[in-house]
Structure 1
Amino acid sequence: MSNKLIKRTPCIGVCSTSYGDHICRGCKRFSHEVTGWIKYSDTEKSLVNERLQKFKTTILEDKFTIIDSEKLKNKLKDANISFNQELDPLCWVFDLFRTFTIEDIDLEEVGIALKGEFSSMALSKIKEDINKEFFELSLAHYERYIIGESVT
């Protein structure tokens, strides 16, 4: 991770915090981060983005290898998919999966390869597992550092 600030909102347009969730089912930010985003300093925004990027790379790095980040970037741009180019290209896999139906994704065509045991799994199962793992990491962080802070 570089020292530059990552200020862009991670919102993907499917916010569930407005329905009472403490963690958005879309971008995985916490409800107070979603509602307070406009007031956050660039440093605060960057810290949130860095946490989300770390969670994504933790989940994805054992499943995928980015063979050609330019191919992936071009695919996302050609399809007019909103993605944060300041993030690690591995994070763009989330943007690819949230936008395209699994059947329409040819990993080789977009410069991505599956690793090891994941190469024999269905992409739909991998996508489901990734979303579940990302939510679980966010929930664990929320319970430990956000709820935990309010109890003490």
Structure 2
Amino acid sequence: MRVCRTIGGCLLPQIIGKVASISCALAAILPATQRSPANSMSGVKTPCIGICSTTSFGDAVCRGCKRYAFEVIGWNSYDAVAKQAVLHRIEKLICQILENKLRIFSVPNLQAGLEQFAVQYDPTLSPYCWLHNLLKKCHRDITNLAEYGAYVLPEYQQLPLAQLCELLDTEILLLTQAHHERYYAAGLERDAG
């Protein structure tokens, strides 16, 4: 099952992919002096990637950052503990999917790749979340994943990286939606009934 909607005949994932690819290409050619000195996120910031399907299409789960609609709406009123709880839930779901398909063998190489493409990452989260950010934003610009400290497990090596990234994102979204339905939507239905 493919989760997407069209906008004027263009698929949203294709639009996001092209924008991300352009930003990665620009980041790779910018002199180091024009980049921010550290791409790690300081404090608890929004994991938003800029296009929110909860506010644009009414989705219960954002296809980009994987937060629930009520979390997107209430994010600015959350304290640091509540924000970290949301980020750690998303982290567990991302790791559950990525660890079954990819291995990280060099965190320093991964960090260097994040710096090279100016991809922000939260150092308090698993490196698998960092890898997810890198792949989501720059997979079209990566020809050799090993240069970034990771490799694809044998069962998935036959997939082109773009197709693997689409599979990862679809599985993470489906897992997040299932988690939402089990723990939140069911509670809302009980409260309404």
Is the contact between residue 49 and residue 65 of structure 2 (CA under 8 Å) also seen in structure 1? yes
Instruction: Report whether the alignment pairs 1:111 with 2:149.
Output: yes
How far apart in 2 are the matches of 1:143 and 1:8? 25
Aligned ranges for residues 111-150 of structure 1 at < 5 Å?
A: 111-150=149-188
1:103, CA displacement in angstroms?
A: 5.0
2:110 alignment partner in structure 1? 72
How far apart in 2 are the matches of 1:96 and 1:70? 14
Q: What letter matches 2:55 in structure 1?
A: S
Q: What letter matches 2:46 in structure 1?
A: T
How far apart in 2 are the matches of 1:130 and 1:113? 14
SS at match of 1:137: helix
Question: What TM-score comes out, normalization by structure 1 length?
Answer: 0.90
**Which residue of 40, 50, 53 maps to 2:88?**
50
RMSD: 1.5
Structure 1 outlier segments of 4+, above 3 Å = none
Structure 1 vs Structure 2: percent identity of aligned residues?
Answer: 34
Q: What letter matches 1:73 in structure 2?
A: Q
**Which residue of 103, 119, 127 maps to 1:81?**
119
Unaligned runs of 5+ in 1: 1-5
1:63 alignment partner in structure 2? 101
1:110, CA displacement in angstroms?
A: 0.6
SS at match of 1:100: helix
Is the contact between residue 117 and residue 138 of structure 2 (CA under 8 Å) also seen in structure 1? no
What whole-Å deviation, never above 9, does each CA across 1:70-103 have from its counterpart, x for those lacking one? Answer: 1111111122112222211011121111211435
SS at match of 1:146: helix
105 and 37 in structure 1: CA distance in 2 versus 1, 3 angstrom threshold: farther
Q: What letter matches 1:18 in structure 2?
A: T
2:51 alignment partner in structure 1? 14
1:119, CA displacement in angstroms?
A: 2.0
Is the contact between residue 7 and residue 49 of structure 1 (CA under 8 Å) also seen in structure 2? no
Is the contact between residue 51 and residue 64 of structure 2 (CA under 8 Å) also seen in structure 1? yes
SS at match of 2:151: strand
1:59, CA displacement in angstroms?
A: 0.1
SS at match of 1:113: strand
Is the contact between residue 44 and residue 80 of structure 2 (CA under 8 Å) also seen in structure 1? yes
